[in-house]
Chains A and B, each alone.
Chain A
Amino acid sequence: MSLLDIQNITLSFGGITALSEVSLSVEKGELYAIIGPNGAGKTSLLNCISGFYKPQSGTILFEERDISQNRPDQIAQMGIARTFQNVELFANMNVIDNMLLGRHNHFKIGLFKNGMLGYRAKAETEHRLKVEEIIDFLEMEQWRKHQVSSLPYGVQKRVELGRALAQEPRILLLDEPMTGMNQEETEDIARFILDVHQELGTTIVMIEHDMGVVMDISERIGVLDFGRKIAEGTPQKVQKDPDVQKAYLGENYEEVLKGAAG
Chain B
Amino acid sequence: MKEDTIPDIFLGKVKKYGDRVALREKEFGIWQEISWNQYCRHVRHFCLGLMELGLKKGDHVSIFGENEPEWLYADLAIQSAGAVAVGVYPTNPAKEAGYVIGHSESIFVVCDNQEQVDKVLEAGQQLPLLQRIIVTDIKGLRRYTDSMIMPFTSVEELGREVEEQDPDKYYRTVETVQSEDIAIMVYTSGTTGPPKGAMLSHDNVVQFLKAQSQVLPQYDTDEIVSYLPLCHVAERMMSVFFPINSGATVNFAESVETVSTDMREVLPTFFLAVPRIWEKIMAGIMIKMKDASWLKRKMYQVIFPVGERMADAKLAKEQVSISLKIKYGLAYLALLRHLKKELGLLRARIAVSGAAPIAPEVLKFFHSLGVPVLEGWGMTEETGIGAINLPDDVRLGTVGKPIPGVEIKIAEDGEILLRCNHIFVGYWRDPEATARTVVDGWLHTGDVGELDEDGRLKITDRKKEIIITSGGKNIAPSEIENRLKCSAYINEAIVIGDGRKYLTALIQIEYDNVGKWAQESGIAYTTFKSLSQNPRIWELIQQEVDEANKDFAQVETIKKFRLLEKELDHDDDELTATLKLRRKTVNKKFGHIIEEMYSSKSRG
Contacts and interface: CB of A to CB of B under 8 A. Distances in A.
A142 B28 contact: no
A33 to B, nearest CB: 18
B27 interface: yes
Contacts of B26: 141
B143 to A, nearest CB: 6
A141 B254 contact: yes
B31 to A, nearest CB: 13
Interface in B1-59: 26-30
Interface in A27-53: none
A136 B28 contact: yes
B603 interface: no
State which size class the interface on B falls in.
10 to 19
B29 A142 contact: no
Contact of A191 (B29, B140, B143, B258): B140
Contact of B140 (A132, A133, A142, A194): A194
A198 interface: yes
- The CB with the most chain A CB atoms within 10 A, among B27, B29, B142, B254, is that of B29
Contacts of A195: 139-140
Contacts, number: 33
B533 interface: no
A128 to B, nearest CB: 8
B257 A141 contact: yes
A198 B142 contact: yes
Contacts of A142: 254-255, 257-258, 261
Contacts of B28: 129, 132-133, 135-136
A29 to B, nearest CB: 13
A150 to B, nearest CB: 15
A144 interface: yes
Given A129-B28, A142-B255, A137 B139 contact: yes
Contact of B255 (A129, A137, A141, A199): A141
Contacts of A139: 255
Interface residues of A, number: 15
B65 to A, nearest CB: 15
Interface string B140-182: 1011000000000000000000000000000000000000000
Contacts of A141: 26, 29, 254-255, 257-258
Interface of A: prevailing SS: helix
Contacts of B254: 141-142
Contact of B29 (A144, A194, A198): A144
A132 B27 CA distance: 8
A136 B139 CA distance: 11
- The CB with the most chain B CB atoms within 10 A, among A133, A137, A142, A144, is that of A142
A136 B142 CA distance: 18
Contacts of B142: 198-199
A217 to B, nearest CB: 12
A135 B255 contact: no
Nearest to B140: A195
Contacts of A198: 140, 142-143
B139 A199 contact: yes
A121 to B, nearest CB: 15
Given A141-B257, A142-B255, A135 B29 contact: yes
A22 B574 CA distance: 54
A73 B140 CA distance: 32
Interface in A190-206: 191, 194-195, 198-199
B357 to A, nearest CB: 30
Interface string A127-162: 001001101110101101000000000000000000
B143 A136 contact: no
Contacts of A137: 139
A142 B253 CA distance: 11
A137 B30 CA distance: 15
Nearest to B138: A199
Nearest to B115: A191
Interface string B238-269: 00000000000000001101100100000000
Given A129-B28, A135-B28, A135-B29, 20 more contacts: A132-B30, A133-B28, A136-B27, A136-B28, A139-B255, A141-B29, A141-B255, A141-B257, A141-B258, A142-B254, A142-B255, A142-B257, A191-B140, A194-B140, A195-B139, A195-B140, A198-B142, A198-B143, A199-B139, A199-B140
10 contacts: A132-B28, A132-B29, A135-B29, A136-B28, A141-B29, A141-B255, A142-B254, A142-B255, A194-B140, A198-B142
Interface of A: 129, 132-133, 135-137, 139, 141-142, 144, 191, 194-195, 198-199
